[in-house]
Structure 1
Amino acid sequence: MQRTAVVIGIVLFVLFTVFSREVKRGVMSQVDFDMTVKLQDKISSRFDQLMDDGAILADGVVSSGIVLGISVWGLVKKKGVRKAGVLMLPLAFATLTGIEIYGKNFVPHPGPPFFMIKRPTTIFPKFHVVQPYAYPSGHAARATFIALVVLHLTSYILRKKGTLGKYWVFGGVAGYVVFVAISRIYLGHHWLSDIVGGILLGGSLGSFTLGFL
């Protein structure tokens, strides 16, 4: 077990809990609104499609497939205790999903108003189950969780290679998480506080899981 990763995961989860309490109190309301207005004012509408489609890897179904694929790969490659640790991946991901669903049903933090949503037909598709609230962002949580797992796998696969490749992967993965975060705010799907909560949630469960891989 990598104790540092586990401790970081626990600390991040405590921060997530504290931050969630502050969000529930409405502490971030003005900051949330100002950030959304600024992003929608600065980013051209011609990027709407890119912002919407680009976050596909953090979609619930797609990310579930990614986690399942990584888990199967880990069971094949890992040995002994570490093979058992791989089972933490789907378990932690399921926990993440459960906390997301709980938050969006019981943390009174509505998402942006309809007039701020850039592409309402994509956030409210025909078979979409509308949840009362928006906190935390599932996209941000899943993107962060998968990013940490991918970085761990990269360090394992490229352990005998140079550091340049690792830097490129780190930059790409971190950049994608930032892209997902910005896109959710810009499109009016989430407030900044939803994104921060999602990153803390995904980071906590992701870090905790890495401690067993």
Structure 2
Amino acid sequence: MSGADAGDAGPGAPPPGDATDHERAQGGHHAHAPTPLRVSRRPWLAAGIIALIAVALVGTVIVYSERRPFGFELDLMTALAAARTPAVTSGALALDLLGGGVLSNVVLPIVIVAGLLLWRRPWAALYFGIAALASAGVTRLVKVLVGRVRPEDILVQPDFGSFPSGHSSAAALIATALGLVFMRTWVWVVGIAWTVLMMLSRMYLGAHWLSDTIGGALVGAGVALIVWAPLAYRLYRENRLPHPPIWRSVDTSAKA
């Protein structure tokens, strides 16, 4: 994240260019931290808003077209159904279990929040919890409003509403939120790979059309960006602190 918004630093924050000196004055706890960066929120917030606007537009088109799939989606679904194999189907069913229901919407978010708290990231835990709830709520609302029918050749028993894909939105939410929390390339790479695999598995199983999975990914990523914006500076400052687990002291970690 680069670029400076002078008003983004928050009240009482040190000037961006003086961040390192300010932290040395606090006792040198951040000597190991990454190079100071300025937190620019506006482009990311705009991206999140644009993503949700895109979902609204696609949903409107779907409703206007009497909730039928687009022609290219029928061709793609036919091709995927013809390419099914036992091994790939087993993997897709495993993703169906991991990416939806109570496991994905309740258990996994609780585990992530608990892990962030245990490793001294309370602002990250708060951010992820709010983002996960908001993403699930937006996904459910759009499902009800659009009411799109799912494909007929389906291998699982999903809930009501095909647009957007709840599995895809949950995967994109986790990928985007954790990417913003940890600010590490490998987290983004793993998160994007997880989201793409989830989207492909939903179409492979016949649970969603292509536009459903894209809409779900946009919901998850968009909500994560919008919720991140007001907490961005606090999350960045928190990320620069030591993060030993709560059963270890910070001083011991800093000396290690």
TM-score over 0.5 (shorter chain): yes
- Check 1:60–1:91 CA distance in 2 against 1; reply closer, same or farther (3 A cut): farther
Unmatched 5+ residue regions in structure 2?
A: 1-7, 9-39, 236-256
**Counterpart code for 1:148:** T
Are 1:57 and 1:143, in contact at CA under 8 Å, matched by a contact in 2?
Answer: no
1:51 is displaced (CA, Å) by: 0.7
Are 1:23 and 1:193, in contact at CA under 8 Å, matched by a contact in 2?
Answer: no
Moved more, 10-19 or 40-49: 40-49
How far apart, CA to CA, are the structure 2 residues paired with 1:47 and 1:107? 30
1:112 counterpart SS class:
coil
- Check 1:45–1:23 CA distance in 2 against 1; reply closer, same or farther (3 A cut): farther
1:38 is displaced (CA, Å) by: 1.8
- Check 1:55–1:108 CA distance in 2 against 1; reply closer, same or farther (3 A cut): closer
Higher helix share: 1
**Counterpart code for 2:56:** T
How far apart, CA to CA, are the structure 2 residues paired with 1:67 and 1:51? 21
Q: 1:94 aligns with which of 126, 133, 137?
A: 133
Are 2:99 and 2:167, in contact at CA under 8 Å, matched by a contact in 1?
Answer: yes
Matching of residues 36-51 of structure 1 within 5 Å: 36-51=77-92
Are 2:100 and 2:167, in contact at CA under 8 Å, matched by a contact in 1?
Answer: yes
Q: Which residue of 1 aligns with 2:142?
A: 103
From the CA coordinates, give the structure whose radius of gyration is larger. 2
Are 2:203 and 2:209, in contact at CA under 8 Å, matched by a contact in 1?
Answer: yes
Q: Does 1:21 find its partner at 2:21? A: no
Q: Which residue of 2 aligns with 1:200?
A: 218
Are 1:39 and 1:185, in contact at CA under 8 Å, matched by a contact in 2?
Answer: yes
Q: What RMSD, in angstroms, separates the aligned Cα atoms of the two structures?
A: 2.4
1:195 is displaced (CA, Å) by: 0.6
Q: 2:199 aligns with which of 166, 174, 181?
A: 181
- TM-score w.r.t. length of structure 2: 0.64
Instruction: State the aligned residue count.
Output: 188
Are 1:75 and 1:86, in contact at CA under 8 Å, matched by a contact in 2?
Answer: yes
Matching of residues 77-156 of structure 1 within 5 Å: 77-78=120-121, 83=123, 86-113=125-152, 116-117=153-154, 119-120=155-156, 123=157, 130-131=159-160, 133-155=161-183
Q: 1:69 aligns with which of 111, 118, 129?
A: 111
How far apart, CA to CA, are the structure 2 residues paired with 1:154 and 1:88? 12
Identify which of structures 1 and 2 has the higher relative contact order when contacts are C-alpha pairs closer than 8 Å and 6+ apart: 1
Are 2:130 and 2:227, in contact at CA under 8 Å, matched by a contact in 1?
Answer: no
Are 2:176 and 2:188, in contact at CA under 8 Å, matched by a contact in 1?
Answer: no
1:147 is displaced (CA, Å) by: 0.7
Are 1:137 and 1:198, in contact at CA under 8 Å, matched by a contact in 2?
Answer: yes
How far apart, CA to CA, are the structure 1 residues paired with 2:190 and 2:99? 15
1:28 is displaced (CA, Å) by: 4.9
Moved more, 28-37 or 55-64: 55-64
1:209 is displaced (CA, Å) by: 2.6
Q: Which residue of 1 aligns with 2:209?
A: 191
1:75 is displaced (CA, Å) by: 4.7
How far apart, CA to CA, are the structure 2 residues paired with 1:154 and 1:55? 26
1:67-104 deviation per Cα after TM superposition (whole angstroms, max 9, x unaligned): 2333344456247xxx3x74343223222222222233
Q: Which residue of 1 aligns with 2:253?
A: none
**Counterpart code for 1:198:** G
1:86-138 deviation per Cα after TM superposition (whole angstroms, max 9, x unaligned): 4343223222222222233331310001xx11x34xx26xxxxx42x211100
Unmatched 5+ residue regions in structure 1?
A: 125-129, 159-165
- TM-score w.r.t. length of structure 1: 0.76
Q: Which residue of 2 aligns with 1:163?
A: none
